[in-house]
Amino acid sequence: MTTNTNEQDDRVREATPSPINSKIEKDTWTNLSQYMNKSNAEITERIHKVDKEWDIERYLGVNMSTLAMIGLALAYFVHINWLILPAIVLVFFFQHSVQGWCPPLPVLRLFKIRTSGFRFESNAVTRIKHLLRFCLKCLYFIKSFNTL
């Protein structure tokens, strides 16, 4: 079964309050505009940083797996009633898979964790700016060469 990342991102954005989405988008565009006059090395470093950044799906997966393992360990070592924790986590994970929303999602979005699609858009814009700057330098070089 394949999942459409854009569809997932849209569901996550729809399930997130619009002020939080607006804040994340505003901060991203502000950050991108700061890189307009940066050197090639700084832009390349930013691209690598965004490539390594975790998206909301990864945070949810790690968070839910960790809570489920903790619940299983507590059930084994402390009391069987701790099995309720992995059960709740599985219900949340199922809910997120079906609806694109689960209770931890708004908390993670408050920390400005972006969806994979928004990370890709941010990185693509940075790469395009990098390419445009390179093209402008080439044009300037050609122009200066033609005036000789």
> How many helices, marked H, and strands, marked E, lie in the chain?
7, 0
What six digits make up the tokens of 130?
A: 């990098």
Q: How far is CA 101 from CA 17, 21, 91, 97, 135, in A?
A: 12, 14, 11, 8, 42
pLDDT in tens, 80-118: 999 999 999 999 989 888 887 888 888 887 887 777 655
- Pair 25, 109: CB distance under 8 Å: no
Give the integer Cα–Cα distance in Å for 138 and 148: 16
Which sequence spans correspond to the domains of the chain? 18-53+116-148, 55-113
pTM for the whole thing? 0.57
